[in-house]
Amino acid sequence: MPLQKLQLRPGINKEGTNYTNEGGWFDCDKVRFRSGNAEKIGGWTRLSNNTFRGICRALWNWGTLSGANLLGVGTNLKYYIEQGGAYNDVTPLRVTYTHSTTPSTDNMFSTVNGSKVVTVTLSGYGGVDNDFVTISGSTAVGGIPAAELNAEQQILYKSGTQFTFTTTTAATSTVTAGGGTNITAQFQINTGLDVEIAGTGWGAGTWPSYIDTTLTNPFTAASAGVSVLTVTKTAHGLTTGDYVYFSSIAADACGINRLVLQKSFPITSTGANTFTISTVIGSNTYTTTSTAASGGTVVISTPVAPVRGWGAAASVGVAQQLRLWTNDNFGQDLVLAPRGGEIYLWLPSGQVYPSGAAGGLTTRAQLLSVESTAASYLGQFVPNNTNRFIPQASAEILEK
């Protein structure tokens, strides 16, 4: 059979269906047409040779009144503002500890001769694995230069009172308490997961239904140094293998950081009113430092009957959410929030926060609930004729 020339019309036509569009193109991906012929797009151009930390989960592009082109970049570890190829870290702060706070930062460093690992003792610091803290004001400790201590450090959770980080220089002596009495430790908001951890199969996720109950100090431990917590809940009705989810814990539980417990756990029933959970989470083991009833006000989600759906097969009832961000510009200002977290405000250069700080790429996003209570907050916004509010700077432009 002789060859027959196949002539296709250039361009993509999606007004009909792929069947009615005979002799033409209905769909494509990364394709362009030149001289009537289809060819692949030549590729992507790298935005910048600079890098950022974490897995990006949110991008938001906007411009300022001065013409600056900005890109918000939210990762599981940090939040950046990109301008001109540079990624500027504006991750909000969670808490700052100093000499005069409780806990105090006085001589909080310990070293071991020959080791690059620095141990920090700071009771109730509230951190989790991979959190970031910026340290300043420390003196050299155990032969490790002050410049290596006074920097941004990524931490490894050890207990509710201790964490570690690694330096470039190994210690030349063992020190149990060093660093001086002028140390400042600024903790950024807790980091999040880079992937979502969830069950598979019919019945995983939101089936079966869960009910929330508020408990007071439900956690106890058999002894210090164990990785098992006992939870007291009257007539819990659970069986071994069921999953519970702690969505709110007010205080550390028997010395274990409350934040690492705010997730789902399989339980072992130990009685009509008690069950246990293991605090071996992934590759990390969290051990107790006390046995007393603790946790403060706790919200626990427990499954209600039927525990599994018809023909069900599930391993995890509630997913552990990866870090996602919500971000949007309000005029030239940026509003951002990690999923399930608080709302923050970031202002570009030339703006001033109601609390008095200057905006710009070197200033971290500020807690909106704090800025909105500052004395000058109402002066930052004026009403327009659509009964919405716009930034003061934008209003001035519109009036002109």
On whether both 286 and 351 belong to a single domain, the answer is no
Q: What is the share, in percent, of the chain residues with pLDDT greater than 70?
A: 86
Residue 386: the pLDDT is 40
Question: Domain for residue 308, yes or no?
Answer: no
Residue 211: the pLDDT is 83
Give the residue with greater pLDDT, 325 vs 42. 325
Show the tokens assigned to 128.
């989790």
Q: What is the pLDDT of residues 229-267, one digit of tens each?
A: 999 999 998 989 888 999 889 999 999 998 889 888 999
To the nearest whole number, what is the mean pLDDT of the chain? 86
Give the residue with greater pLDDT, 33 vs 361. 361
Residue 385: the pLDDT is 42
Question: Domain for residue 378, yes or no?
Answer: yes
Provide the residue type at 25 as one letter. W
Question: Domain for residue 312, yes or no?
Answer: no
Contacts of 385 (CB under 8 A, 6+ apart): none
Burial class (CB in 10 A: 0-12, 13-18, 19+), 155: buried
On whether both 228 and 163 belong to a single domain, the answer is no
Q: Which backbone phi and psi does 393 adopt, to 5 degrees?
A: -60, -40
Specify the 3-state DSSP secondary structure of 396. Answer: helix
Residue 392: the pLDDT is 44
On whether both 258 and 241 belong to a single domain, the answer is yes
Per-residue pLDDT band at 317 (split at 50, 70, 90): very low
The residue out of 156, 188, 220 marking a domain boundary is 188
On whether both 107 and 152 belong to a single domain, the answer is yes
Give the residue with greater pLDDT, 160 vs 167. 167
Per-residue pLDDT band at 198 (split at 50, 70, 90): low
Specify the 3-state DSSP secondary structure of 285. Answer: strand
On whether both 17 and 62 belong to a single domain, the answer is no
On whether both 114 and 184 belong to a single domain, the answer is yes
Whether residue 325 contacts residue 204, with contact meaning beta carbons closer than 8 Å, is answered with no
Domain range for residue 101? Answer: 95-188
Q: Is the pLDDT of residue 274 over 60?
A: yes
Whether residue 160 contacts residue 254, with contact meaning beta carbons closer than 8 Å, is answered with no
Q: How many CA atoms lie within 13 A of 259 on its CB side?
A: 18
Least confident stretch, 2-6, 52-56, 145-149, 180-184: 2-6
On whether both 299 and 332 belong to a single domain, the answer is no
Give the residue with greater pLDDT, 393 vs 355. 355
Question: Domain for residue 203, yes or no?
Answer: no
Question: Domain for residue 317, yes or no?
Answer: no
Per-residue pLDDT band at 304 (split at 50, 70, 90): low
Number of domains in the chain: 4
> How far is residue 210's CA from residue 302's CA, in Å, rounded to a whole number?
5
**Stretch 114-141: mean pLDDT, rounded?**
95
pTM over 0.75, yes/no: no
On whether both 351 and 395 belong to a single domain, the answer is yes
Question: Domain for residue 36, yes or no?
Answer: yes
DSSP 251: S
> How far is residue 279's CA from residue 256's CA, in Å, rounded to a whole number?
9
Residue 397: the pLDDT is 36
On whether both 270 and 248 belong to a single domain, the answer is yes
Q: Which backbone phi and psi does 10 adopt, to 5 degrees?
A: -75, 160
On whether both 176 and 99 belong to a single domain, the answer is yes
Question: Domain for residue 109, yes or no?
Answer: yes
Question: Domain for residue 252, yes or no?
Answer: yes
Whether residue 229 contacts residue 221, with contact meaning beta carbons closer than 8 Å, is answered with yes
- Which CATH number goes with the domain that contains 257? 2.40.30.20
Q: Is the pLDDT of residue 399 over 50?
A: no
